[in-house]
């Protein structure tokens, strides 16, 4: 049985998907890609010797800017108010590659999120694509560069009730490490004034701990104090309330939470948190 194309109507004409009946949930899209550089170009970029300036910084900003313009570039894409677009570029050596061009590359990773009714995978793909093209714009140095392997590597949102407000574990590499030395800490009410300062310290002092900050962001909380750790690889923020036993169980079991710190001033967590803790 063949699935129906989502962007066509019953007569086969192009059609924008109606998402008005979908729930607004936290949605995340992640994409990766590479641009093959060759050693000479790779060395010039690494030492920041390109005449046009800091190539990687410009490419990173270009990718972030492009993610916000996706609906203007891709027909029938929804216009989405993004919550965040993050783009990282790493110069890598592909040791098993055959040629000089393939061995020395820049790997681009884009992670885009929003609170909305449709996913942001295309925004992540566009971010990677434009970032790679921006690097290629130094073509006077090497016209043999090749953009390759752009693909979606993860998405979350719009699934079961328990997953709607939770990030799928494959989105974040390293969250489910099996080492007994890793601790997964859930902090509720972590965007409050005191809690946010505490989280900043443990994220910085304990890089081997995975810190999950859960807060509903009401009138007495803010993410301002947490901006400097928002990109830390061991820090994850989840917006919402712990009001469902199923949801709490999902966090505790899927994310292997072994430590819970409750900072919320109110008792909106209720008995769900207590009844879901497994010792």
Confidence of residue 250 (pLDDT cuts 50, 70, 90): confident
Three-state secondary structure readout of the chain: CCCCCCCECCCCCECCCCCCCCCCEEEEEEEEEEEECCHHHHHHHHCCCCCCCCHHHHHHHHHHHHHCCHHHHCCCCCCCCCCEEEEEEEEEECCCCCCHHHHEEEEEEEEEEEEECCCCHHHHHHHHHHHHHHHHCCCCCCCCCEEEEEEEEEEECCCCCCCCCCCCHHHCCCCCCCCCCCEEEEEECCCCHHHHHHHHHHHHHCCCEEEEEEECCCCCCCCHHHHHHCCCCCEEEEECCCCCHHHHHHHHHHCCCCEEEECCCCCCCCCHHHHHCCC
Q: What is the pLDDT of residues 91-130, one digit of tens each?
A: 999 888 889 899 999 999 999 998 888 889 999 999 999 9
**How far is it, in rounded angstroms, from Cα 162 to Cα 93?**
40
User: What is the pLDDT at residue 175?
Assistant: 39
pLDDT digits (tens, 9 = 90+) for 140-175: 788 899 999 999 988 877 644 344 444 433 333 433
pLDDT at 19: 81
Residue in 137, 208, 218, 258 annotated catalytic: 137
Total residue length of the chain:
279
pLDDT in tens, 50-61: 888 899 999 999
C-alpha pair distances (Å), 229 with each of 166, 211, 268:
19, 11, 26
pTM for the full predicted model: 0.57
**Known catalytic residue: 137?**
yes
Averaged pLDDT, 198-211: 86
- Among 86-100, 234-248, 256-270, top mean pLDDT goes to 86-100
């Amino acid at each position: 049985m063949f699935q129906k194309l989502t962007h066509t109507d019953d007569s086969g004409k192009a059609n924008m998907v109606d998402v008005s009946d979908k729930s607004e949930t936290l949605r995340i899209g992640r994409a990766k890609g590479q641009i093959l550089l060759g050693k000479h170009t790779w060395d010039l970029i690494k030492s920041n010797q390109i005449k046009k300036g800091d190539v990687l910084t410009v490419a990173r900003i270009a990718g972030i800017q492009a993610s916000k313009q996706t609906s203007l570039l891709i027909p029938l894409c929804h216009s989405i108010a993004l919550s965040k677009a993050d783009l990282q570029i790493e110069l890598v050596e592909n040791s098993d590659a055959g040629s000089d061009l393939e061995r020395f590359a820049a790997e681009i990773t884009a992670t885009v999120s929003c609170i909305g009714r449709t996913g942001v995978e295309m925004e992540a793909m566009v971010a990677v694509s434009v970032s790679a093209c921006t690097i290629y714009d130094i073509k006077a140095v090497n016209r043999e560069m090749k953009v390759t392997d752009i693909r979606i590597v993860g998405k979350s949102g719009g699934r079961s009730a328990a997953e709607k407000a939770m990030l799928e574990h494959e989105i974040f590499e390293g969250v489910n490490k099996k080492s007994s030395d890793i601790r997964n800490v859930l902090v509720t009410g972590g965007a409050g004034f005191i809690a946010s300062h505490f989280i900043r310290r443990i994220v910085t002092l304990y890089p081997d701990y995975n810190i999950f900050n859960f807060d509903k962001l009401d009138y007495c909380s803010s993410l301002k104090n947490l901006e400097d750790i928002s990109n830390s690889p061991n820090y994850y923020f989840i917006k919402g309330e712990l009001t469902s036993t199923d949801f709490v169980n999902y966090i505790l079991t899927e994310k292997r939470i072994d430590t819970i710190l409750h900072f919320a001033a109110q008792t909106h967590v209720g008995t769900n948190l207590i009844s879901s803790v497994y010792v």
